Amino acid sequence: MWLKEPARINDTIRFLGTYDLCFYLVQGKDVLIVGGGMSHATPALETQLRKLEIDPRRVKYVVVTHSHFDHCGAIPYLRRRFPDIEVLGTAAAQNALAKPKVAEYNARMNDLAAEQAGVQKECIPLEGQSDALHIDRVVSEGDVIDLGEGVSVEFHEVPGHSKCCLATYVPGCRALFPTDTTPHPVDDWSDLAFPSAQYDFAAYVESLRRLGEFDVEILGLDHHGVILGAEAKEFLRLGLQRTLDLQQKVLSRYAASKDLDEVARETAREALSKVRLPFITEDLMFIITRAMIRNIVAVN
């Protein structure tokens, strides 16, 4: 089952945000939010949180699944909404967001997306406040946080899409939040977008293999919703297969042309038609795809 709209999943987990920018509320005695999203998702998030009437003092953590601009832009809003919240991420994410150029770029991209969505007046402007994107506490492979009431959360480092990708697992619910270390669905739950392995293709494949070993019935994606039931495990298998198929296609194209940019342009056009995220432009897709193809060619 593919859940596209924010909704209650079970007593512990709730899907919030939007179809394109997903957040997940994980509740024990304390509350943890998975996903840092973008600022233009915060008006929808605020409406949802008001309806839930959660005591702000219970919301202790938010997980930045990685440091890209579309995964940290809601952090300033969440800091303001929940004064006691602690922002979690990997050491690599902390280092990335501590760099002024990275933080300023992320802020600028969020402000632009909010303007394009026509909600900039409802969002916190991030330019000039990029220091609010920092990671407060580093979590590493195998770290666990106990939320109380029998709910624990595990963290697993799954690099490849970026150096700093972090998966979150709630074993009591068999719920896995893999971030962009798997393609997201497009027209059907089994119709996957192009893989995005621009940091390290080999690491991306290895991370996908690891994710496939988890016991999963709830797969909460950062983009395009939640896969439930037996299809969750199958989705991870399809993600790995699609990634390996893309590798072979890229190698075949490169063998024929020996022109990396030509292969990147052709692949980026295909990828853009499948990604369908409004904040991913044609130029940005070319940059992402070229980096991934360079990695594929380099290791073969």
**Tokens standing for 1?**
């089952």
Residues 114-138 have pLDDT tens digits of 999 999 999 999 988 878 999 999 9
Residues 218-267 have pLDDT tens digits of 999 999 999 999 999 999 999 999 999 999 999 999 999 999 999 999 99
pLDDT of residue 241: 97
Residues 188-223 have pLDDT tens digits of 999 999 899 999 999 999 999 999 999 999 999 999
**Tokens standing for 241?**
């297969």
Q: How far apart are CA 60 and CA 44, in angstroms?
A: 21
Query: Do 177 and 34 meet the contact criterion of CB atoms below 8 Å apart?
Result: yes
Residues 25-84 have pLDDT tens digits of 999 999 999 999 999 999 999 999 999 999 999 999 999 999 999 999 999 999 999 999
pLDDT of residue 273: 87
Query: Do 3 and 225 meet the contact criterion of CB atoms below 8 Å apart?
Result: yes
Q: How confident is the model at residue 274 (pLDDT cuts 50, 70, 90)?
A: confident
Going by C-beta distance under 8 Å and a sequence separation of 6 or more, which residues neighbour residue 132? 75, 76, 79, 126
Give the residue extent of every domain in the chain. 2-238, 250-298
CATH superfamily for 2-238 is Ribonuclease Z/Hydroxyacylglutathione hydrolase-like (3.60.15.10)
Amino acid present at 192: L
Query: Do 262 and 256 meet the contact criterion of CB atoms below 8 Å apart?
Result: no
Q: How far apart are CA 25 and CA 15, in angstroms?
A: 7
